[in-house]
Amino acid sequence: MEKILLQIQDETSTLKEVVLGTAVSNGKTPSVEDAYDPKSIENIKAGTYPKEEDMVKEMTAFELALKKHGVTVYRPKVIDDYNQIFSRDIGFVIEDKFIKSNILPDREKELDAIQYVLDKIDADKIVHLPEDCHIEGGDVMPHGDYIFIGTYRGQDYPDYITARTNEKGVQAIQDLFPTKKVKSFNLRKSNTNAKENALHLDCCFQPVGKNKAIIHKNGFLEEEEYQWLVDLFGRENVFEIDKQEMYDMTSNIFSISPEVVVSDKHFKRLNDWLRSNGITVEEISYREIAKQEGLLRCSTLPLRRI
């Protein structure tokens, strides 16, 4: 069996291998009680929750865009009537280690569905964190010497189903990578208002290209943490998105390389800015999947970049 040699140092280096979720056999529209985020709840109540065939079409377009650029794409084994779109939540790679997320208990099966991929990885490179370390891949971004992590530090952490990464999770990553500078960001959470909820760090921030970043100020509870990021990248290299653009998931695009990104064709302002900075934009529609408060980065679990 051919091994997968994990390697992830950042968000934008040239992608070679990735797990892309699947919308096949996604199951019926969940009840409000079973939804995990305010945007899904909003669409369930409005009768606009996405249909399986529309989401499958969107994910097929994403897969084709990845393969066009020579990326090896793995898909999860299909579990009947089960949502397996957001593979970013279930695990993530830093350097040459695959870290299994401690995810919501209902979602454990999603890891089983990519076991055939994990079997290609040396067992000593797969890390299980202690159970009290909550962390999901949408909150974790390697960036050279840094690892950026979104978290929520409030005492009321247990009250938020939208708070997915706790301070113990942040500390566990620092312990695993002692030579890295782990920088955490306190994110704004809401169980009821999608415009006031940064579900993960990638919902309000993401590096792009060689030295640029997309950011939404209101996603950060502490202005100095937002400012630290702006200073790191330089104001002239930062694309600021507003509340509506954050709600539309505009920071949640996906880099195939520093020169190529996959973006939603709905993001006209962002896509024009990317092109003006010499970045090729592969445009697809991901409007239906966006109704579940996740987008392109959320659907991917990168294994190897070079």
* Percentage with pLDDT > 70 across the chain: 100
Which whole-number Å values give the CA distances from 292 to 23, 56, 129, 170, 287, in the listed order?
12, 14, 27, 25, 10
pLDDT the model gives residue 103: 73
pLDDT the model gives residue 1: 83
- Residues 64 and 45: their CA atoms lie apart, in Å, by 33
Can you read off the two tokens belonging to residue 227?
């400012």
pLDDT, average across residues 51-60: 97
pLDDT the model gives residue 28: 87
- Residues 141 and 15: their CA atoms lie apart, in Å, by 15
pLDDT band at 32 (very low <50, low <70, confident <90, very high): confident
Can you read off the two tokens belonging to residue 270?
């962002």
pLDDT band at 21 (very low <50, low <70, confident <90, very high): very high
Which tens digit of pLDDT belongs to each residue from 116-148? 999 999 999 999 999 999 999 999 999 999 999
Which tens digit of pLDDT belongs to each residue from 71-112? 999 999 999 999 999 999 999 999 999 999 887 677 789 999
208 Cβ contact list (under 8 Å, min separation 6): 11, 12, 214, 239, 253, 255, 261, 274, 279
pLDDT the model gives residue 162: 87
User: How many other C-beta atoms lie within 10 A of the C-beta of residue 69?
Assistant: 15
Q: How far apart are the first and last CA of the chain?
A: 22
Mean pLDDT of the chain: 95
Answer whether CATH 3.75.10.10 is correct for domain 15-305. yes
Which tens digit of pLDDT belongs to each residue from 34-44? 887 889 889 99
* Percentage with pLDDT > 90 across the chain: 86
pLDDT, average across residues 218-227: 98
- Residues 38 and 293: their CA atoms lie apart, in Å, by 8
Can you read off the two tokens belonging to residue 49?
């929750």
Can you read off the two tokens belonging to residue 290?
């966006």
Domain boundaries, the chain: 15-305
pLDDT the model gives residue 180: 98
